[in-house]
């Protein structure tokens, strides 16, 4: 694997993972371990971010010794750092010592109420032990002060879905859409929630949100399928007007054709795809 240019692309990859906040722990451990073992001197000041990143990934993969190497380096470089204390507490979490970890976070918060990292870790602990109610309460409290934190709204939405409070989950997505009206994923997720809630109005909302998502990103397959499903479901209802039936029939037919077109681009002979046309037709009946 070694090579003079290899280390540069490894650094680039790790940077991309940090920027996109991707949890690719296995990859990070593999790339990172190689970097800090063989190319430490070449990493410059980026090495501290890399140590932090590898530490978290190592905890994820159960690589205790690797995690120890990283945290030791960070401790030496940044003694008495709040950020390092948080990482050490995450190490406790990884061992299942939630009680001790919680104490560290609560202590940090008593010194600094704006310690976002500590607050979020508390929510993570509640999630890990299955206490969704507390996780939700904490997140709601957090969002009162940090209402533009998109990651927090997404997390809250997921928690509401877990406890099947779909209308609150939809509310979270609506908040996200307000702050980011060009994000196709937010519309898609919102639509999926409305679809799940069922009922004519909700299905119509779902269809509209799926359509909006598609306008922003025509490649969003989930939104295309979702648009088709919503229109088909509405078609099957007895309670809609004949104009609405006509419209939804048009929408379903259009979506069905779009779906088939996407799959035909692959000229795949997979049995699964051969059946698709029949399935789509049967769902619109």
Partner 1 sequence: MASTTKITVKPRSYAKILLHAAKYPHCKVDGLLIGKLSNNGRDALATDAVPLFHLGHGLTPMLEMALSQIEAYAESQKSSIVGYYQANEQLSESHTPDAFAIKIADKILSCNKFCSLIMVDNRKVSLSCKNDALVCYANAEGKWKQDTQYSLEHSEETLSTLAKLMTNKAYKNLNDFDNHLDDISADWTNVKVNKLIAEAH
Within 8 A by CB and 6+ apart from 42, the residues are 7
- Our CB check for partner 1 shows the closer of 96 and 181 to be 96
Q: Given candidates 216, 222, 249, 284, which one binds partner 1 under the rule CB under 8 A?
A: 222
- Our CB check for partner 1 shows the closer of 85 and 228 to be 228
Q: To the nearest whole angstrom, how small is the minimum distance from the Cβ of residue 233 to partner 1?
A: 9
Q: Cβ(234)–Cβ(265) under 8 Å?
A: no
Q: Cβ(228)–Cβ(206) under 8 Å?
A: no
Q: Given candidates 9, 22, 23, 131, which one binds partner 1 under the rule CB under 8 A?
A: 23
Q: Given candidates 18, 132, 283, 284, which one binds partner 1 under the rule CB under 8 A?
A: 283
Q: Given candidates 55, 153, 195, 251, which one binds partner 1 under the rule CB under 8 A?
A: 195
Count the residues of the shown chain that bind partner 1, applying the rule CB under 8 A. Answer: 37
Q: Cβ(201)–Cβ(234) under 8 Å?
A: no
Q: Does 155 bind partner 1 (CB under 8 A)?
A: no
Cβ neighbours, 10 Å, residue 184 = 19
CA distance 14 to 20: 10
Lay out the site mask for partner 1 across 39-68 (x = CB under 8 A, - = otherwise).
---------------------x--------
Q: Does 275 bind partner 1 (CB under 8 A)?
A: yes
What part of residues 91-110 is at the interface with partner 1 (CB under 8 A)? 96
- Our CB check for partner 1 shows the closer of 62 and 181 to be 62
- Where b means 16+ CB within 10 Å and e means fewer, 222-246 reads bbbebbbbbbbbbbeeeebeeeeee
The region of 1-9, 33-41, 235-243, 268-276 touching partner 1 under the rule CB under 8 A is: 268-276
Q: Does 268 bind partner 1 (CB under 8 A)?
A: yes
CA distance 227 to 195: 10
Q: Does 2 bind partner 1 (CB under 8 A)?
A: no
Cβ neighbours, 10 Å, residue 128 = 13
Q: Where are the alpha helices (DSSP H) in the chain?
A: 6-20, 25-38, 46-60, 64-77, 82-94, 98-111, 116-128, 132-145, 150-162, 166-179, 184-197, 200-216, 221-235, 242-264, 271-274, 276-284
Q: Given candidates 39, 48, 78, 263, which one binds partner 1 under the rule CB under 8 A?
A: 263
Q: Given candidates 10, 226, 231, 255, which one binds partner 1 under the rule CB under 8 A?
A: 226
CA distance 126 to 44: 37
Q: Cβ(101)–Cβ(121) under 8 Å?
A: yes
CA distance 81 to 201: 52
- Our CB check for partner 1 shows the closer of 47 and 122 to be 122
Q: Given candidates 13, 134, 183, 196, which one binds partner 1 under the rule CB under 8 A?
A: 196
Q: To the nearest whole angstrom, how small is the minimum distance from the Cβ of residue 21 to partner 1?
A: 13
- Our CB check for partner 1 shows the closer of 116 and 279 to be 279
CA distance 49 to 17: 12
Residues near partner 1 (CB under 8 A) are 23, 25, 60, 96, 128-130, 161-162, 164, 189, 191-193, 195-196, 206, 221-222, 225-226, 229-230, 262-263, 266, 268, 270-272, 274-276, 278-279, 282-283
């Amino acid at each position: 694997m070694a090579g003079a240019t290899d280390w540069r692309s490894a650094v680039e990859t790790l940077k991309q993972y940090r920027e996109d906040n991707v949890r690719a722990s296995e990859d990070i451990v593999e790339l990172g371990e190689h970097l800090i073992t063989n190319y430490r001197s070449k990493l410059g000041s980026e090495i501290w971010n890399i140590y932090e990143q590898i530490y978290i990934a190592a905890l994820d993969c159960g690589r205790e010794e690797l995690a120890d190497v990283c945290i030791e380096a960070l401790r030496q470089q940044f003694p008495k750092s709040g950020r390092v204390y948080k990482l050490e507490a995450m190490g406790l979490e990884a061992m299942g010592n939630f009680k001790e970890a919680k104490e560290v976070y609560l202590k940090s918060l008593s010194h600094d109420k704006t310690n976002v990292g500590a607050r979020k870790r508390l929510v993570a602990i509640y999630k890990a032990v299955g206490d969704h109610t507390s996780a939700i309460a904490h997140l709601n409290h957090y969002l009162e002060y940090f209402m533009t934190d998109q990651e927090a709204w997404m997390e809250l939405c997921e928690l509401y879905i877990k406890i099947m409070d779909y209308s609150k989950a939809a509310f979270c997505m609506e908040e996200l859409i307000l702050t980011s009206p060009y994000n196709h994923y937010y519309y898609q997720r919102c639509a999926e929630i409305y679809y799940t809630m069922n009922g004519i109005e909700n299905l119509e909302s779902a269809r509209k949100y799926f359509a909006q998502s598609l306008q922003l990103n025509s490649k969003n397959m989930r939104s295309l399928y979702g648009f088709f499903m919503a229109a088909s479901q509405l078609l099957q209802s007895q309670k809609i007007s004949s104009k609405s039936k006509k419209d939804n029939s048009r929408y379903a037919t259009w979506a069905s054709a779009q779906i088939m077109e996407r799959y035909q681009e692959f000229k795949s002979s997979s049995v699964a795809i051969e059946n698709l046309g029949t399935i789509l037709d049967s769902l619109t009946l």
